[in-house]
Amino acid sequence: MAQTGVRIKMEAGNAMDKIYMAGPWITELEIKTVEDAMRNGWYEHAYDYCEKFQKEFAAYHSRKYAIMTPNCTTAIHLLLTGLGVKEGDEVIMPECTWIASGAGISYLKATPVFCDIDPINWCIDPKSVEKRITSKTKAIIAVDLFGNMPDMDGLIQVGKNHNIPLIEDAAEAVGSSYKGVKAGKFGIGSVFSFHRTKTITTGEGGMLLLDDDKLFERCFFLRDHGRKSDGPMYYNYEVTYKYMPFNVQAALGYAQFQRIDELVGKKREQLKMYKEKLRDVKDIQFNPEPPGGVNGAWITGLVFGKSHKMTKLDAMEKLVKLGLPARPFFYPLSSLPAYPGFKEKYEPLNPVAYDISSRGINLPGAANLTEEQINRFCDGIKTILKKK
Ligand SMILES: Cc1ncc(COP(=O)(O)O)c(C=O)c1O
């Protein structure tokens, strides 16, 4: 309860001109497309928008298959199940990400193994992955944090060296790319989120992208109560999940996807503005964009350099007093009550994650953010740093 209270307080803005952390950009196109699904998307058309969205989303990411799911958490669970992850297995993942990246590991009674992060891109560090591999490791989950891309070359190499599949959690990375390859094309499978806070939204929604025929067939089978598309009616071969998408949800996603350049452009523009307006402030770090890459900038991250002696909670408390919202950099998962007993083991192993997380915040990134609001927020950052 206390956590919820903090969240509401920390996000409270000025009622007249509220700055939102996240929120979508919905136009007439989305409204008309959803209306079409509502009016016509029934009977033999009940999955038309799901099919169209899946097909075009896969093609855009140069993948053979796309499977839409109720959200991204279920997409990861589906993929891990499809890969055969089971009780007693280990799956490697970064310390700093939303808990959903690894929830599926626990659903399957496997064990998450936490890795340190890179101090520049804040994503999983391949050197740390290498150290965590055991005979029980069944998969490596890389997360494109805030739209930042990890060292994919390094991760692919580690996966190859040990014959362990790589999964790309691209939930936050629509529009990002690494050395000319789009986020979502890495590893044996990748997942996206269309949560209401994401760049492309369906309210709740997710997508699993795959290239492998057999893995696709398995995941497709697992998504709808273990039946075969060419099998007899009401005939189930296994007890599996019910992770089917809904056509109206897909219609919204399909329409948003037609505007992907505009939506990603908005996010990238916000990151650019934050960087420009705070360029005189020394010793702060933003989402990087290495040469040859694109940062889709789902949300802007700001890490205060050590010289500022500013923790994320200090910063958020001071900002909220100025009527400005911010969110904390993801906590190291091993430090959370959700993973009892993990902190003792992982804090000494993952010092970069514990350090960066303690000094990082996320800046407002709603699609309706104005330049004036960004100015106001940047003035707030300057004020709290001067007051130290
Ligand atoms: C990195 C990451 N992975 C997974 C998810 C899960 O997405 P969803 O909320 O669609 O289940 C999210 C989003 O919240 C995320 O940010």
Give the pLDDT band of residue 2 (cuts 50, 70, 90).
very low
- Cα(117)–Cα(336) distance, rounded to whole angstroms? 17
pLDDT over 80 at 191, yes or no: yes
pLDDT over 60 at 388, yes or no: no
For 206-234, what is the mean pLDDT?
A: 97
All domains of the chain in start order, with CATH:
2-23+260-386 (3.90.1150.10), 28-258 (3.40.640.10)
pLDDT over 80 at 16, yes or no: no
pLDDT over 60 at 132, yes or no: yes
Q: Do the beta carbons of residue 163 and residue 134 sit within 8 Å?
A: no
For residue 98, how far is its CA from the centre of ligand 1 (angstroms)?
A: 6
**What does the pLDDT look like over 301-324, one tens digit per residue?**
999 999 999 999 999 999 999 999
In sequence order, which residues have a C-beta less than 8 Å from that of residue 103 and are 6 or more positions away?
Answer: 73, 76, 77
What is the distance, to the nearest Å, from the Cα of residue 356 to the centroid of all Cα atoms in its chain?
A: 18
The answer, as to whether pTM is greater than 0.85, is yes
For residue 78, how far is its CA from the centre of ligand 1 (angstroms)?
A: 14
168 lines ligand 1 (CB under 6 A): no
Q: Do the beta carbons of residue 207 and residue 57 sit within 8 Å?
A: yes
183 lines ligand 1 (CB under 6 A): no
Instruction: Give the mutation target among 72, 149, 209, 299 for probing the ligand 1 site: most ligand atoms within 8 A of CB.
Output: 72
pLDDT over 60 at 189, yes or no: yes
73 lines ligand 1 (CB under 6 A): yes
- Cα(209)–Cα(207) distance, rounded to whole angstroms? 6
49 lines ligand 1 (CB under 6 A): no
Rg of the chain on CA atoms, in Å: 21
For residue 76, how far is its CA from the centre of ligand 1 (angstroms)?
A: 9
For residue 286, how far is its CA from the centre of ligand 1 (angstroms)?
A: 21
Percent of the chain with pLDDT over 70: 95
Amino acid 387: pLDDT: 65
